[in-house]
Amino acid sequence: MVGKLADAPFRRNLLFALALSAGILNLIDRQIIAVLKPTIAAELHWNDEDYGTLATWFQTGAAFGFLAGAGLWTGRG
C-alpha cells in the first residue's frame, strides 16, 4: 500500500509532463503551416484563399479533436 501511494505523485507529474508536451507540440505544429506557406504556395500553385482554406480545415479538425478529447477526459464522452 505504501508503495502505491509513493507512486501517485510520480504518475501525476508524468501525466502532467506528457499533457504539457502534447500541448506544446500542438502549438508548434500549428505554426509550421505558416512557416511552410511559401513552399506550399510555390509547389502546389496555391493562392492566399487556398492557404486560408487549409488553415481553416486544420483549425476545425483541431477544435473537434479537442472537444472529443475533453469529453473522453472528463468521462462524459
Domain ranges of the chain: 1-34, 36-77
The pTM for the full model equals 0.51
Record the cell numbers describing residue 58, joined without a space. 486544420
Give the Cα separation of 33 and 40 in Å (integer): 9
Q: What residue type is 19 in one-letter code?
A: A
- Grid cell at residue 32: 509550421
pLDDT confidence of residue 77: 47
Question: What's residue 8's pLDDT?
Answer: 79
Q: Using alpha carbons only, what angle is made at residue 76 by residues 71 and 77, rounded to the nearest 5 degrees?
A: 50
Question: Cβ distance 58 to 30 under 8 Å?
Answer: yes
How far, in Å, CA of 66 to CA of 55, rounded?
Answer: 16
pLDDT digits (tens, 9 = 90+) for 15-26: 889 888 888 887
According to the model, what pLDDT value does residue 5 have? Answer: 57
Segments of the chain with pLDDT less than 50: 1, 77
